[in-house]
Amino acid sequence: MRNSQNINYGTIPSLIALSILLLLSSCESGVGSLPGEEELLGYKNATASEVLSSDGQLVGKIYFQNRTNVTYSQLPGHLVNALIATEDVRFYEHHGVDSRSLARVLFKTIIGGNRRSGGGSTITQQLAKNMYGRQNTGMFSIVRNKSREMILARRIENTYSKDEILTLYLNTVPFGEDVFGIEAASLRYFNKRVEDLKIEESAVLTGLLKAPSFYNPARNPGNAEKRRNVVLGQMEKYHFIDALAADSLRSLPLAIDYRNPASEGIAGYFMVRVRNELKKILGELEEETGKLWNAETDGLVIETTLNMALQSASVEAFREHLPEMQSGLSEQYKTTSGSRRLEDITEQIIGERRMSSRADKRRVQTLFRWQGSYSDSISVRDSIRHALTLLHAGMLALDPRTGGIMAWVGGIDYVTQPYDQVLARRQTGSVFKPVLYAAALENGSEPCDYLDNDSVVVSGYEEWSPDNFDGTFGGSWSLSASLAKSMNVPSFNLFIRTGFGCVDSLWKALGFSFPLANTPALPLGTAEASIMETAVAYCAFANGGYKVDPWSILTVRSASGELLYRRQDTEFDERILSERSALVLGAMLQKAVNEGTGIAVRSRFGVDIPLAGKTGTTQNYADAWFAAFNPAVTIVARAGASSPAIHFDDGSFGTGSALSLPLVALTLKKASADPALKELVSIPFPSLPPDLQYALDCPDYREDRFVDKLIDIFKKPEIVFDTTRVRSEKKLRDIFRRVFRK
C-alpha cells in the first residue's frame, strides 16, 4: 500500500503511450508509407533565390521559405559543438535514436514529473520531422508521428554521414520570423555569413531552436542572452570550451546586427521589378529547354544591374531631406485654413466612397512616419487625413548607355506604402520643356534664336495668359536661356513656332504613353508621365538620341552555379533624336544646372560632377520634379502628396528646386564621396563639334527696342488658338518692325 501511494496515476497514459511508441518504432507497418533510401537521397530543401547587386551584395531574396543552403565546410566548428552540446550530446554515438535519452524521458519526465529534464528526440529525429512534417491522424497522433520519426531517423543514418545529417539539419531548422536554415538566420540576426559567426553568436542561434519566438534576440534580448549563456554552459559542461572562456563569453553583452531587407525597404520596389522580369526570363527558358525553374524554391542566383552603393545613397537622401519637407506640409495643414481645406477634401472622399456610416469606426493600422512606423487604433476619417497629408516621392537612376537600372526608390516605405511612385503618372511641369525644345531643334531652331517674352492673351481659353515664374515680361530670351531659366512665355512662343505635330511626334517616339492635347498650356507642362517614362526620355538626351529599354537582370544561375541566362549586349537600334540635337540640348541643360533653375546642385550641395538637368513644378505646387543626366547616369525624382489637391502653398517648399532637386543632389553628393562610385557616375560630356563650338555663345536676354515698347502701350497682343491653327493678332507690330528696320 505504501508503494502504491507514491505512484502518479497521471503517468499511466504516458507509460501506455511510450509502450505503444516503442512497439510501433520496431514495426514499420504500423506507421504508414515511409520514404526509402532513393527518396531520401533525392531530398531537396526549398531554397530561396538570392538577388545580388552589380557589386555582389545581397539585395533581397525570393522564396517560399527564406532559406539559403550551406555546406558542412562552411559551418564553424563552434557552431557544430554548440548544437551537439545543447541538442544531442551523444550524436556521434547513437544510430538515429538515443536509448539513454528515451530512458531519461521515461523515468525523469514521465514518472518523475520533471519536465525540465530534456526531450528524447535526437538531432536526426528532429531532422526527420523538419523534412517530412507531422500528420494529424486523431487519437495517438503524437505516438504515430514519434514512431515515424524514429524509423526515419534510422533510415537517414543509413543513408547519410553524420556530417551530412548535421548540414541537412542546420539547413532545414526554423529560426522564427519565416527564416529557415542557419545561413538565413545568420544574415537576419547578425548580418553576416554563417562562416563568419563568433562563438557567442553561434550560441545565440543555437539557443533560438528551443523556442524561436521566446528567444528572439531582436524582440526578446533578455531571454536570448539568458538562453545563450545556457548554451555556453552546456559547451563548458561537455568540454567544448574551458571554464575561463565560458565565463568570459557569458559576460559579453548581447550584440546583434538585425537586418530584414523586406521590412527595411531599401530595395523592396526594385525587387518587384526583378520578380516580374525573372518570371518572363524563366518562361522563355522553359520554352527553350523544357525545364521549369521555380524562383521560390530552386535557390537561383540572380545578378542585377542595381548598384548597391548608389541605391543606399538614394535611400539616405530620402531619409535626410524628406522628413523636413513632411514636417512643413503637416504644419501647413494644422493651420486654420489648411485644416478646413483638409476636412473638406476628407469629407468629399468619404462621400464619394460611401463610407459615411463607418467613417468613425476604429481599427488598428500601421502608420508611417519618418521617426519609425507605429501601430494605432484610428478611425477611417483620421486614416484618410493621415494618408492625404503624407508626402510621397520616387527616384530612378538608369544607365543611358544600356538602359540598366542603377537605383530604384519607389517610395518612402515599401512595407506601409507599397504603391510604386516610379510608375505613377503625374503632371510633368517644366521637365516637359526639353521635349519641346528638342522638337524645335529638330525643326531647325538654334540655341541663339530669340523668343518673345511679351505678355499675350489667348483668345478662346477664358482669356488665359502664360506667365513667367518671376512675373516679368518684355524683351526676348535666347532659346538656350529660355530653357535654362525655364521661362514660360518664351516657351509658349516656341511652341507656337514649332507646332503641335512636331512635339507630339517626338513625345510618342520618346516612349511616353499619355496622349498629348493640343492646348496653349501644353508647353508649360500639363502632360502626364511617370518617373520611368521621363528617365527613358532623358536617357535619349544623354546618349546621343537613342531609345533605351530599362532592364535589371544580368545573369541567372542555378544553385550549383550553372549559367542559365545572360543578357546579350545589344546595340541601340532606334534613333529618335539626331546626334546634333541631343548634343545641343545637353549643352543647354548643362547651362540650366550651372546658371539656371538647377544651380542649387552646385551652389547649395557642391556637386561637381558633369551634369545637365531640368526642374519642374506643376500647378499649385502639386508635384515637384528634377531630372538630371550625364553620359553615365540619368536620374529622375518626383515628390508630392497622393492627391494634387494637397500641396504646399508656396515655392519655399513646393518647387522642383526646393523639393525634388535635393533628392538627386544629395544622392550624387554622397556618390561623389565614394571614389569608385564617383568614377562610375561622372563621365564628362563629349565636346561639341567645331560647327557647334559657339552655338550657345550669345546674350541670354535682349531688351525691347523703342518701337516694341511703344506698341505695347497701345495694344496688348492677342493669340487666337485652336487645335487646327494658331493665328497671331500682331500685324500692327510686324508692320511697324518692318518699317523701322528699313
Average the pLDDT over 303-312 and give the result.
97
Average pLDDT score, the chain: 87
Which pLDDT band holds residue 572 (cuts at 50, 70, 90)? Answer: confident
List pLDDT tens digits, range 336-355: 999 999 999 999 999 988 88
Q: Kindly state the average pLDDT of the residues 677-682.
A: 94
Lowest-pLDDT range of 241-245, 356-360, 618-622, 653-657: 356-360
Mean predicted confidence (pLDDT) in 254-280:
86
Residue 142 has what pLDDT?
61
Average pLDDT over residues 260-267: 68
The DSSP output letter for 551 is B
Whether pLDDT at 363 is above 90 = no
Position 110 pLDDT exceeds 80: no
Whole-Å CA distances, 355 to 62, 620, 644, 704: 38, 29, 22, 59
Domain edges within the chain: 2-31+70-264, 268-355+362-379, 400-686+695-702, 706-741
Say what the pLDDT of residue 457 is: 86
Q: Is the pLDDT of residue 9 over 70?
A: no
Is the model's pLDDT at 723 over the cut of 80? no
What SS3 state is found at 486?
Answer: coil
Compute the average pLDDT of residues 28-53.
70
- Rounded to an integer, the average pLDDT of 575-604 is 97
| 3-state DSSP assignment of residue 694 | coil
Q: What is the pLDDT of residue 95?
A: 86
Name 286's Cβ contacts closer than 8 Å, sequence gap at least 6.
292, 293
Q: If you average pLDDT over residues 698-715, what whole number do you get?
A: 71
Average pLDDT over residues 228-232: 97
| H-state helical runs in 451-511 | 479-484, 488-498, 500-509
pLDDT of res. 373? 83
Answer whether 0.85 is exceeded by the pTM: no
Distance CA 180, CA 172 (A): 6
- The three cell numbers of residue 9 are 496515476
Average pLDDT, integer, range 243-266: 85
User: Among 33-42, 204-213, 286-295, 387-396, where is mean pLDDT lowest?
Assistant: 33-42
pLDDT at 42: 64
The more confidently predicted of residues 40 and 448 is 448
pLDDT at 472: 87
pLDDT band at 570 (very low <50, low <70, confident <90, very high): confident
Residue 127 has pLDDT above 90, yes or no: no
CATH number of 400-686+695-702: 3.40.710.10
pLDDT value at 580 more than 60: yes
CA distances from 635 to 266, 399, 528, 550 (A): 17, 9, 18, 13
Task: Determine contact, residues 428/534, Cβ cutoff 8 Å.
Answer: yes
Among 370-379, 704-713, 724-733, name the one with the lowest average pLDDT.
724-733
Q: Which CATH class is domain 2-31+70-264?
A: mainly alpha
The three cell numbers of residue 737 are: 518692325
Query: Is residue 156 very low, low, confident or very high in pLDDT (cuts 50, 70, 90)?
Result: confident
**Mean pLDDT score, 650-656:** 93
Look at residue 399 and tell me whether its pLDDT is greater than 80.
yes
Average pLDDT over residues 721-736: 46
State mean pLDDT over 51-68: 88
Average pLDDT estimate for 491-514: 96
Tell me if 51 sits within 8 A of 274, measured CB to CB. yes
Percent of the chain with pLDDT over 70: 84
Comparing CA positions, the residue from 158, 154, 143, 156 lying closest to residue 24 is 143
User: Which comes out higher in pLDDT, residue 487 or 25?
Assistant: 487
Between these two residues, 444 and 5, which has the higher pLDDT value? Answer: 444
Which of the residue ranges 129-138, 369-378, 679-688 would you say has the lowest mean pLDDT?
129-138
Which of 147-151, 282-286, 735-739 is predicted least confidently? 735-739
pLDDT per position as a tens digit, 421-447: 999 999 999 999 999 999 999 999 999
pLDDT tops 80 at residue 712: no
For range 536-549, the mean pLDDT: 97
Q: What are 564's three cell numbers?
A: 542559365
- Judged against a pLDDT cut of 70, whether residue 726 lies above it is answered with no
Residue 454 has pLDDT above 50, yes or no: yes
Residue 5: the pLDDT is 42
Q: Is the pLDDT of residue 23 over 80?
A: no
Helix 123-132 with 162-172: angle, nearest 10 deg: 50
pLDDT of residue 10: 45
Q: What is the mean pLDDT of residues 715-727?
A: 54
**Of the given ranges (76-90, 431-445, 593-607, 710-724), which has the lowest mean pLDDT?**
710-724
Residues constituting the chain: 742
Question: Bigger pLDDT: 714 or 499?
Answer: 499
Burial class (CB in 10 A: 0-12, 13-18, 19+), 455: middle
Domains 2-31+70-264 and 400-686+695-702 equal at CATH topology level = no
* Amino acid, single-letter form, for residue 328: G
pLDDT given for residue 731 in this prediction = 43
Of the two residues 96 and 33, the one the predictor is more confident about is: 96
pLDDT of residue 158: 87
**286 has a pLDDT exceeding 80:** yes
Q: What is the pLDDT of residue 728?
A: 44
> Is residue 700 within 8 Å of 481, Cβ to Cβ?
yes
Q: Which of 406, 393, 429 is nearest to 614 (CA)?
A: 429
